[in-house]
Amino acid sequence: MPDSRVSERTPLRILCQGERGSCAACCGLSNFADRSRAATHARLRRRTDAVRAAWPDTAELAAARDALLREETPQVLFAGVKVCPFAGWVEEPADDDDDDDGRVGCLLHPSRHPDGADLRDLAVYPRAVCAGHFCAPHDWLRPHEVDLAQTAHGLVYGRVVTDAGLVKAVARGLVERGNGPFDDVKVARAGDALAALWRALLDEWPYADPDPRRFGGFVCSGDNAVDRSLPSCVAGLDVDAARWERTVLDAIATRPLTATEADAALARLRGALDAVLAAAGRPG
């Protein structure tokens, strides 16, 4: 779950909005029992339509907020983690079944108002938090790791940029399997393959834990989503796996595996990275 820091210094590279995707984790977008693509798209569609109908009248926007909160509260996973109903489609996807060309963000952002007014005090957080919160990966990710993370598309982008451990492990894997640096030239050359990698790991992973309380290598409990680290998905197994491979498997919320499943999962992960290396011009 997102941390609650408010920074007085704007990062040099803001991760919230990238060229290919966007993130609304700090707005509580992941705080639902059903985080499937279909459910998330439907939620974003309802919000966007409600705000569009009320825009820009502040009284009507407040009424839309209250109605959306009443509708969504029963679906919220952790009651103590705020969910802002003003996170919606700031750029709508051409097809609601595929968000690769869509962009989620703040529907109240002053850049969207005809007079530049900042209406974010209508949201569930104070305006200062909305304007000044930058999650920890802004500090933890190095420039080349940001380059990697920002190849993700659509809503998968938010799941990538908020997990620095996952990004660092994938970066390490590309170096080790490619037997050399994976620089910005290779990132640019393999952009589409990297986007496919992130989707394969985070949106199409067949070994994902079905527990909705599972976030990466952690399980959360209680209203305030207290996190507890879990044993590795390959704990107790005699598998030949590098440290970065174990980190990636756990970061993508892999459930406990049998030995046979672990071998298959590792082969799938290695194959996905090799496809990126091939696209970058260096076979795996």
Q: What are 84-98's pLDDT values in tens digits?
A: 999 999 999 988 777
Which residues face 221 on adjacent strands?
Answer: 226
- Please tell me the predicted confidence (pLDDT) of residue 10: 81
- Please tell me the predicted confidence (pLDDT) of residue 8: 60
Spatial distance between the Cα atoms of 33 and 157, rounded to a whole number of angstroms: 20
Q: How many residues does the chain have?
A: 284
Contact yes or no for 198/176 (Cβ under 8 A)? no
Q: Is the dihedral of CA 80, 85, 89, 93 positive or negative?
A: positive
- Please tell me the predicted confidence (pLDDT) of residue 7: 57
- Please tell me the predicted confidence (pLDDT) of residue 6: 56
- 105 backbone dihedrals φ, ψ, rounded to 5°: -175, -170
- Please tell me the predicted confidence (pLDDT) of residue 282: 54
Listed residue (137, 150, 142, 154) closest to 187, CA to CA: 150
Spatial distance between the Cα atoms of 237 and 112, rounded to a whole number of angstroms: 53
Report in angstroms the alpha-carbon separations of 78 from 32, 158, 219, 220. Answer: 8, 19, 12, 9
Report pTM: 0.93
- Please tell me the predicted confidence (pLDDT) of residue 145: 97
- Please tell me the predicted confidence (pLDDT) of residue 94: 85
Which residues face 226 on adjacent strands?
Answer: 221
Listed as ranges, residues in the chain with pLDDT below 50 are 1-4, 283-284
Please give the single-letter amino acid code of residue 205: W
